[in-house]
Chains A and B, each alone.
Chain A
């Protein structure tokens, strides 16, 4: 119970991932599978973004308010800044997932044009 509350971000990502995985494997409609794939990838993005967050932390930009660099550098405490790296990595991962989504939908469109259906069981019949 304690881990459920303290580490809720991990539980959310696992739940999202399982929803996506279920949709990808069990759904009959190809577009629903694609939606599942998108949820699955989003779950991983949530995971990465949540590990970079900290309590009472701000964006990782050092304020040079008074112009005295030396004094500011002495006062920097990493605990006050969020870790930017996971977020930056996820910018790339979002681009990748959009690309994957595009390819998957393009293939769905081509399948629909050819077979006039997106249901997997009807597709199996028409491919015979």
Chain B
């Protein structure tokens, strides 16, 4: 039962140490990188399942790193929310590593070792961000995920380099804003532990510095999740990234950033402050409406499938941010459910795009003709993913969209309902063009 107790630490330690293992085994034999990475991802997924099981059994719990008590030491806090996100992230990374084998051999034959090292490090960062209960520790892991993400994207061909460079600049601005926000909180409270901050902040709700901290952190995570109008780095970076890297980065990085937003707003500032004391929710929902419409309409204008999918991600981020800031139970449920569902849907679609690139060498929409006869199973899987993206009833996408719409009606935000419906319609047009 030792492993069961240590699972929250293991799910960060396993991918971290496996980065060394991948690198060292790659020195001897380049082909051994894939099995090592696969084993690491499988073990990580096992650790997240154990963590999730423990949360389901005993409720939320905290893991003290090195045994230091919370306000001084760093603690990992696992509750039902991040237990679920952890399992989803680890599951998608396991699928992505399985997908990556042939794709990496074809697209990046000289960079297999680098690819898998960065891959497991990126997973380390994402899982660490999700599990940590310390605001500064979160920054460090955010940067681990970001730096490996830049490198993974820049592994691609020529245009990926320039897209990767823009991502470095904007991503660094985002992370720096987050750090600055945490600094303001630290000045006001003298603490960096999330639970501790939640306890201290109520006395400071009228304070301007705390409000500035909230805005800085929000802008920082919005840059990271590519929330309209801060999305400009995303479409090019994800389009020109190597297919296997896109399969990991596109589904997970934006979703984990949305999770970070929800976590900071609820577990540091508290729902009472962000929804009742401040009146920022209404304009943010309008921004989310703009994100959904903008992403959907630009997706419609694309001739290249990967680029179309990246604009859909911009729209989907709008769903989740808007759903959270509706400030109703259904809306927040929908946003959280959509984190998990969208990670899986986006993975499905990007994996499909990767397979098309692998088989036909291009991913323009005109290359997709006649694929039903050539690859029936792949196309069937793509159809399920596409139906889920549209939100057709038996698929996962329907349920999160349903909760989001219920939440919007509850909050009286009919503009958000309209945006969701328009976006679903646009998705239907987009995907029926392909199917």
Q: Chain A residues in contact with chain B, CB under 8 A?
A: 21, 24, 30, 33, 37, 40-41, 44, 47-48, 51, 85-86, 89, 92-93, 96, 99-100, 103-104, 106-108, 110-111, 114-115, 123, 127
Nearest-Cβ distance from residue A94 to partner chain B, whole angstroms: 12
A48: contacting residue among B165, B169, B172, B183, CB under 8 A: B183
CB nearest neighbor in A for B169 = A24
Q: How far is the CA of A114 from the CA of B186 in the complex (A)?
A: 44
CB nearest neighbor in A for B164 = A107
CB nearest neighbor in A for B137 = A92
Known A41-B176, A100-B147, A106-B154; 6 more pairs at CB < 8 Å:
A40-B176, A47-B180, A96-B143, A100-B172, A104-B169, A123-B162
Nearest-Cβ distance from residue A90 to partner chain B, whole angstroms: 10
Chain B residues within an 8 Å CB radius of A30: 165
Which 5 pairs of residues, A with B, have the shortest CB-CB distance?
A96-B143, A111-B161, A104-B168, A107-B165, A107-B154
Q: Is the CB of B161 within 8 A of A114?
A: yes
Check: B405 CB closer than 8 A to any chain A CB: no
Q: Is the CB of A93 within 8 A of B162?
A: no
Chain B residues within an 8 Å CB radius of A106: 151, 154
Nearest-Cβ distance from residue A96 to partner chain B, whole angstroms: 5
Q: A107-B150, A107-B154 are in contact. Are A40 and B173 (CB under 8 A)?
A: yes
Q: Is the CB of B147 within 8 A of A103?
A: yes
CB nearest neighbor in B for A24 = B169
Q: How far is the CA of A48 from the CA of B162 in the complex (A)?
A: 32
Check: B31 CB closer than 8 A to any chain A CB: no
Q: Is the CB of A24 within 8 A of B173?
A: yes
Q: How far is the CA of A24 from the CA of B176 in the complex (A)?
A: 13
CB nearest neighbor in A for B180 = A44
Q: A44-B180, A103-B151 are in contact. Are A51 and B172 (CB under 8 A)?
A: no
Q: Is the CB of B168 within 8 A of A100?
A: yes
A-B contact pairs, 11 of them (CB 8 A): A21-B173, A44-B179, A44-B180, A85-B186, A93-B139, A103-B151, A103-B168, A104-B169, A106-B151, A111-B161, A127-B159
B168: contacting residue among A44, A107, A123, CB under 8 A: A107
CB nearest neighbor in B for A30 = B165
CB nearest neighbor in A for B72 = A85
Q: How far is the CA of A37 from the CA of B169 in the complex (A)?
A: 7
Chain A residues within an 8 Å CB radius of B76: none
Q: How far is the CA of A103 from the CA of B173 in the complex (A)?
A: 15
Q: Is the CB of A127 within 8 A of B162?
A: yes
